[in-house]
């Protein structure tokens, strides 16, 4: 886990180095162990390192076999790849990225399809071809700007010089969905384009000889595949149909994923909630580690909050975890909210960002790598909306689509659902359940859940890992028969069955309470102050009906809309108007 930045198509090396150094310093929080800047023919790149594997020798960029790579994330199967390609005597470091350089020398860009991990990287090949690549789920972020002469890339949009970003007000999507959809790679509001999950983008650079080669700054290539369309997603359980056989196969594939996700030269642990997903990860970590695994859980001090600490503690005791709890208070809310808005330069209004930030804050100094349960619901069919999508309409069934409640938007959210549908058109041959899963995998998962995990942990120099979002686990889980995912009133049927066998203390068949953060209770006493000031923020007035915004803060029936509007106001003051986080909050509260 690191921060990367660079410029491709450099014509003024001295200026490019100054620009790239400034870029990497803007995202230095991603790599607290040090920064390196390096130039080559037509390029300049920089790396802010969070040391995880090969603490001494793993500095980037890496060079071998005539190529150069600079990356963010982890390639978990690097040991297996080094063995398969017989690289033992040719590797100069223990870095998980170095084998890729030698693999590319043998088979070109096909090497990218062999990677198992979370990654975003720039690869400058010996053959004169240059690539930007993002993992299939979009666990790791990568953004780019093309000005027609050169291409700049970075791990976060904030890396780009403000005068080059030309940010626009985010569309109403953020307030209608809580996140922003990809739109052919461009992302309104952050002044940069995202590489979409699974995208492999070739960047054509100026030819060494004038008049030869392709035009600079022109993008070629495209998607090798993302989500369920990746070529490597094949049924891992081919020929297996019985429940016992599937449970045995599930045990093997999950254990293998957790095992490789634990590869680290620094301390690792997990975030433990009271749910099935994190309890499953905890069960396997307990099995694979001789010493107690460190686990962190966050609870809330508001009486109406659904606090999962009691359930998490039962699991921790049963698995002999080194369990540590932290409490999120009202004071934390007002302190952390502007910091969260600052960290989310690519925004999501998901209130789960708040406790995730607090957990990372608590874990910093004890752990460097955190395993989490993101992806379990999407791959194993855990959400109630999936079950509704499987029912006929006469039994209350309906498509698993966003329920947009955004009457305060000038357009009422019109068009957002259409864009969402266009973004989630699946391949043919999927069941209704798989179609619903696919929709979340290509929208909400990368643009909300994984964005949240990346930014909240990287704000504290921590690496988040997601064992469910492994292509081997995905191949197994997504292709399971529907009855192994959803049965009766239960989603994640096969995963619950497995957890009941291996950690009954997790109570996998207990009714899920759902996850809530009591933001409405904390905002309520200040709602009268916040409403008029939020309505007066320039970006809010651009996309919202000002009187409707005021009504949100005076009508308790609309209290659920207060946090998204408050977040949007904080975000725009910080990222569009240049306010410091504490000053942005003070302005909204009238404390300035």
Give pLDDT tens digits for 537-551: 999 999 999 999 999
* Whether residue 278 has pLDDT greater than 80: yes
Cα 109 to its chain centre, rounded Å, is 24
Query: Which is nearest to 378 in space by CA: 450, 315, 306, 308?
Result: 450
What is the arithmetic mean of pLDDT over 140-166? Answer: 87
The token pair at 17 is 């180095």
pLDDT over 70 for what percent of the chain? 90
CA distance 462 to 541: 36
pLDDT at 37: 97
The domain 243-404+430-506: what is its CATH number? 3.40.50.620
| Residue 179: C-alpha distances to residues 78, 121, 440, 565, 574 (Å) | 33, 24, 12, 13, 18
Ramachandran angles phi, psi of 508, nearest 5° = -65, -15
Helix (H) or strand (E) holding 318: helix 309-318
**105 in helix, strand or coil?**
helix
Q: List the alpha helices (DSSP H) in 321-383.
A: 330-343, 353-363, 376-380
Which is more confidently placed, 315 or 592?
315
Query: Which is nearest to 312 in space by CA: 303, 300, 321?
Result: 321
- Provide the sign of the torsion angle of the four alpha carbons 58, 79, 3, 39, taken in this order: positive
Angle subtended by helix axes 527-535 and 562-575, to nearest 10: 50
The domain 2-225: what is its CATH number? 3.60.20.10
pLDDT at 226: 36
pLDDT at 239: 58
pLDDT tens digits along 581-591: 999 999 999 98
Which is more confidently placed, 434 or 514?
434
- Chain position carrying tokens 């970075």: 154
Determine contact, residues 233/206, Cβ cutoff 8 Å: no
* Whether residue 235 has pLDDT greater than 90: no
**270 in helix, strand or coil?**
strand
pLDDT tens digits along 48-87: 998 898 788 889 999 999 999 999 999 999 999 999 999 9
* Whether residue 221 has pLDDT greater than 70: no
What does the DSSP 8-state code read for residue 130? E
Neighbours of 582 (CB within 10 A): 14
* Whether residue 227 has pLDDT greater than 70: no
The token pair at 118 is 């979370």
pLDDT at 85: 96
* Whether residue 323 has pLDDT greater than 70: yes
The token pair at 257 is 């994923």
Asked which of 138-142, 304-308, 335-339, 392-396 is least confident by mean pLDDT, the reply is 304-308
What is the arithmetic mean of pLDDT over 365-388? Answer: 96
What does the DSSP 8-state code read for residue 328? E
**Structure confidence at residue 167 as a pLDDT band (50, 70, 90):** low
Q: Delimit the domains of the chain by residue range.
A: 2-225, 243-404+430-506, 519-589
Q: Which residues pair with 328 in a beta bridge?
A: 300
pLDDT at 184: 47
Burial (CB count <10 Å: 0-12, 13-18, 19+), residue 269: buried
- Provide the sign of the torsion angle of the four alpha carbons 93, 98, 101, 102, taken in this order: positive
Asked which of 55-59, 303-307, 406-410, 446-450 is least confident by mean pLDDT, the reply is 303-307
Task: Evaluate whether 2-225 and 243-404+430-506 have a shared fold.
Answer: no
CA distance 475 to 75: 18
pLDDT over 90 for what percent of the chain? 75
What is the arithmetic mean of pLDDT over 214-231? Answer: 35
CA distance 178 to 170: 11
């Amino acid at each position: 886990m690191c921060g990367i930045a660079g410029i491709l198509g450099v014509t003024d090396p001295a200026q490019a180095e100054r620009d790239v150094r400034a870029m990497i310093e803007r995202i230095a929080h991603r790599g607290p162990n040090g920064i390196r800047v390096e130039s080559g023919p037509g390029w300049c790149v920089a790396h802010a390192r969070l040391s995880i594997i090969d603490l001494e020798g793993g500095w980037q960029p890496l060079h071998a076999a005539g190529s150069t790579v600079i990356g963010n994330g982890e390639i978990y199967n690097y040991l297996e790849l080094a063995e398969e390609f017989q690289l033992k005597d040719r590797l100069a470091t223990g870095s998980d990225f170095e084998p890729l350089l030698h693999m590319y020398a043998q088979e070109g860009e096909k090497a990218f399809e062999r990677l198992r991990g979370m990654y975003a990287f720039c690869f400058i090949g010996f053959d004169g071809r240059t690539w930007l690549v993002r993992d299939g789920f979009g666990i790791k972020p990568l953004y780019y700007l093309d000005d027609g002469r050169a291409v700049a890339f970075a791990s976060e949009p904030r890396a780009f010089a403000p005068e080059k970003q030309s940010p626009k007000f985010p569309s109403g999507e953020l307030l209608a969905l809580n996140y922003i959809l990809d739109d052919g790679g461009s992302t309104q509001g952050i002044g940069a384009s995202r590489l979409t999950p699974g995208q492999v983008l070739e960047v054509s650079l100026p030819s060494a000889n004038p008049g030869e080669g392709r035009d600079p700054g022109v993008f070629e290539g495209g998607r090798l595949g993302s989500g369920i369309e990746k070529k490597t997603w094949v049924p891992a359980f081919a020929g297996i149909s019985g429940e016992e056989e599937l449970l045995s196969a599930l045990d093997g594939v999950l254990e293998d994923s957790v095992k490789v996700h634990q590869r680290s030269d620094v301390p690792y642990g997990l975030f433990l909630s009271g749910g099935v997903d994190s309890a499953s990860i905890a069960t396997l970590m307990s099995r694979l580690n001789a010493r107690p695994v460190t686990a962190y859980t966050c609870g809330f001090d508001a009486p109406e909050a659904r606090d999962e600490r009691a359930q998490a503690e039962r699991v921790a005791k049963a698995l002999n975890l080194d369990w540590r709890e932290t409490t999120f208070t009202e004071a934390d809310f007002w302190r952390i909210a502007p910091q969260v808005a600052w960290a989310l330069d690519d925004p999501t209004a998901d209130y789960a960002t708040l406790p995730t930030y607090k957990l990372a804050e608590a874990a910093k100094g004890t752990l460097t790598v955190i395993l989490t349960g993101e992806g379990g619901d999407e791959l194993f069919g855990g959400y109630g909306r999936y079950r509704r999508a499987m029912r006929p309409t006469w039994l209350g069934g309906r498509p698993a689509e966003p329920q947009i409640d955004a009457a305060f938007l000038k357009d009422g959210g019109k068009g957002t659902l259409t864009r969402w549908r266009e973004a989630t058109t699946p391949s043919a041959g999927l069941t209704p359940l798989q179609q619903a899963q696919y929709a979340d995998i290509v929208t909400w998962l990368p643009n909300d859940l994984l964005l949240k995990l990346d930014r909240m942990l990287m704000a504290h120099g921590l690496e988040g890992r997601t064992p469910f979002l492994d292509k081997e686990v995905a191949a197994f889980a997504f292709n399971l028969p529907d009855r192994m995912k959803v049965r009766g009133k239960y989603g994640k049927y096969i995963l619950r069955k497995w957890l009941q066998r291996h950690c009954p203390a997790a109570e996998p068949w207990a009714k899920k309470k759902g996850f809530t953060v009591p933001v409405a209770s904390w905002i309520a006493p200040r709602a009268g102050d916040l409403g008029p000031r939020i309505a007066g923020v320039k970006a809010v007035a651009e996309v919202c009906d000002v009187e409707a915004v005021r009504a949100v803060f005076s009508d308790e029936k609309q209290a659920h809309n207060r946090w998204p509007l408050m977040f949007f106001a904080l975000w725009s003051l910080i990222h569009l108007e240049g306010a410091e986080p504490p000053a942005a909050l003070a302005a909204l509260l009238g404390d300035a």
